[in-house]
Chains A and B, each alone.
Chain A
């Protein structure tokens, strides 16, 4: 190896160059690039790669071509003939009258679609306004009609529940079972929570969040009362 490093033969050719060179050798036997040939003569790595490429190209070249069905050309010609005969009729139809007819049809379709869209929108709007007029309030409030929504109603219900709880507590001066004692303790806790919620409502009169809190506590208090009653009667 007495070559200097500035010689082109030291630069390995790209794979694409090697493939192009191998192709020229396989197809015509004449090297396409003298530089690649010179490099391959000196570089064993590229020579081996070139030989491998050449082998796979020769193998692919030995593959036989497929013959189509014998009638393929006939079928193509028959189909082409029918297409050629069909085409003049198509072009005849595309006169000014046909264009005008297409234009009128297009405008009619567009106006029909627009009218349909307007009708659908107006019906939907009418139904929506009628529904809101029937309920007269927001959907969330309409969904819970059984619960009182005014603060006075909430307070009245709270005092009713407090009276019921007091009567139950008096009657159960001595709880008969641990379960009953547990239920009564839960009832007292729910009562304290209800008092706190009512106090919050007093501090923030008309606050929807406070009212929601009281309403929830009323529900809990009702549930606890029911539990105590069931525990005692069963």
Chain B
């Protein structure tokens, strides 16, 4: 896999291999970035920048670690850079921000009423829970949020997260525990939806 990736990233590399990489990883990277920055348009831009940075820095990748770890490290750096820029940027009201968290592609749960397999109640509940989880994540400190998102939503191991965030495994574990503690009061009202 490593050789294939190096080949895909090289200047004269196989375009089809790079395309495969993009198709396989664009959704997870987008999801990670989206949960971190909480803005759909910014998340799409950053996802694009992550892959462009991958192409530009192709020479720096050595197939010693997992490719996903390398990719998430780039994504994490992009996210922190974005946060730093947001701090410097003046807060202006923008119409494009309005509804930026609304998912245009997902549509309303009622859109699926005609589908026999669809369960409107389940779909709307899941949408509500997703919205609440995103809202709750916004309240969690950034370092904790990063570790929690990488573990619980991206399914990475503690060791991989430690490599991405450049901190010991114990710190990662404690950050995840703190993130859970911070999230819990915001998710309490959904306890009844589980069973």
CB-CB under 8 A from B56, the residues of chain A are: 83, 87
**Is A69 an interface residue when CB atoms closer than 8 A count as contact?**
yes
Among B19, B27, B129, which residue has its beta carbon within 8 angstroms of that of A65? B27
B27 interface neighbour in A55, A62, A67, Cβ under 8 Å: A67
User: Cβ of B151: which chain A residues have Cβ within 8 Å of it?
Assistant: 23
Taking the closest CB of chain B, its distance from the CB of A186, in whole angstroms, is: 61
Provide the bound-state CA to CA distance between A68 and B42, in Å: 11
In the complex, are the beta carbons of A63 and B126 less than 8 A apart? yes
Q: Are B47 and A68 in contact (CB under 8 A)?
A: yes
Asked if A76 contacts B129 (CB within 8 A), the reply is no
Question: How close is A190's CB to chain B, nearest CB, in angstroms?
Answer: 61
Q: Is the interface of A mostly helix, strand, loop or mixed?
A: helix
Whether B181 lies near A68 (C-beta < 8 A) is no
Q: Residues 75-103 of chain B: 1 if any A CB is under 8 Å from the residue's CB, otherwise 0?
A: 00000000000000000000000000001
Interface residue A66 (Cβ < 8 Å from any Cβ of B): yes
**Size range of the chain B interface in the assembly:** 35 or more
With A53-B180, A66-B34, A75-B48 as known contacts, state yes or no: A60 contacts B19, CB within 8 Å. Answer: no
Whole-angstrom distance between the Cβ of A25 and the nearest chain B Cβ = 14
Known A15-B181, A20-B173, A59-B187: A72·B30 in contact at CB below 8 Å: yes
Closest-CB distance, B45 to chain A (whole angstroms)? 10
Cα(A1)–Cα(B153), bound, Å: 40
Query: With A and B bound together, what is the CA distance between A25 and B19 in angstroms?
Result: 37
The reply to whether B30 and A66 contact each other, CB–CB distance below 8 Å, is yes
Q: Is A125 among interface residues, defined by CB-CB distance under 8 A? A: no
B172 to chain A, nearest CB (A): 9
Contacts of B31 in A (CB 8 A): 65-66
Chain A neighbourhood of B187, CB < 8 A: 55-56, 59-60
Which one of A64, A69, A70, A72 lies within 8 Å of B130 (CB-CB)? A64
Write the chain B residue with the least CB distance to A82.
B52
Per-residue contact bits, chain B 107-140, to A (CB 8 Å; 1 contact, 0 not):
0000000000000000000110110111000000
B65 on interface, CB distance cutoff 8 Å: no
Shortest Cβ distance from B154 into A: residue = A65
User: Quick check: is A95 within 8 A (CB to CB) of the other chain?
Assistant: no
Candidates B19, B176, B180, B190; contact of A77 at CB < 8 Å: B19
Which residues of chain B come closer than 8 Å to A227, judged between CB atoms? none
Are B183 and A56 in contact, with the CB atoms below 8 A?
yes
Say if the beta carbon of A19 comes within 8 Å of chain B.
yes
Smallest CB separation, B154 vs chain A (Å): 10
A15 smallest CB distance to B (angstroms): 4
Asked if A16 meets B177 with Cβ closer than 8 Å, knowing A80-B55, A83-B52, the reply is yes
Interface contact A73-B26, CB-CB below 8 Å? yes
> In the bound complex, do residue B176 and residue A63 qualify as a contact, i.e. CB atoms below 8 Å apart?
no
Known: A16-B177, A70-B105. A60 touches B11 (CB 8 A): no
Please name 11 pairs of A and B residues whose Cβ atoms are closer than 8 Å in the assembled complex, sorted by A.
Answer: A59-B194, A62-B126, A63-B126, A67-B105, A70-B105, A72-B48, A73-B22, A73-B23, A76-B52, A79-B48, A87-B56
Top 10 nearest A-B pairs by Cβ distance?
A: A16-B173, A63-B133, A68-B30, A63-B130, A19-B177, A16-B177, A15-B177, A76-B51, A59-B187, A56-B184
B interface list, Cβ under 8 A from A? 11, 15, 18-19, 22-23, 26-27, 30-31, 34, 40, 43-44, 47-48, 51-52, 55-56, 103, 105-106, 126-127, 129-130, 132-134, 151-153, 170, 173-174, 176-178, 180-181, 183-184, 187, 190-191, 193-194
> Besides the contacts A16-B177, A66-B40, A68-B30, what 8 more A-B pairs have beta carbons closer than 8 Å?
A15-B181, A19-B177, A55-B191, A57-B180, A59-B133, A60-B153, A66-B43, A80-B18
